[in-house]
Amino acid sequence: MEDHSQLIESLLERVAAYGNTSLELAKLKALDKTSDVVSSVIPHYVVFVLYALFLSFLSLGFAFWLGEILGNTYYGLFIVAAFYGMIGVFVQLFMHKWLKDRICNYFIKQLLK
């Protein structure tokens, strides 16, 4: 009888060790996926910020140039703002789902990689 209790105790210790090892493995896999996603998102974010700065200064230059042609600086600023407003409405109405799907698919692809 003592033999059976020692076997059961040994089995329970092995099950507990297996559970702890499985938990550590799951933590390490989650950490690996998280670091992979973050490391792939950061360069995209940096490029996005640089493009946004480029577009901002380009827009300001165009707005001031257009305002100089029209006689008042604020005319150029209003025209450029209206242009971006129309682009925003277009994206919201026609491309919102497409953009959302692309972004979601990118993150899912990175997580399942």
Q: How many domains does the chain have?
A: 1
With respect to residue 20, please indicate whether it lies within any of the assigned structural domains: no
For the chain, report the end-to-end CA distance as a whole number of angstroms. Answer: 51
- Per-residue pLDDT for 1 more than 70? no
pTM: 0.61
With respect to residue 42, please indicate whether it lies within any of the assigned structural domains: yes
Structure-token pair, residue 70 = 């029209």
Domain that holds residue 84: 34-112
Half-sphere exposure for 39 (CA within 13 Å, toward CB):
6
What is the per-residue pLDDT across 68-112, written as a single tens digit (0 to 9) for each? 999 999 999 999 999 999 999 998 898 888 888 888 888 788 777
Average pLDDT of span 61-65: 95
Residue 18 and residue 1: Cα distance in Å, rounded?
Answer: 26
- Per-residue pLDDT for 21 more than 80? yes
Residue 81 and residue 97: Cα distance in Å, rounded?
Answer: 24
Residue 87 and residue 95: Cα distance in Å, rounded?
Answer: 10
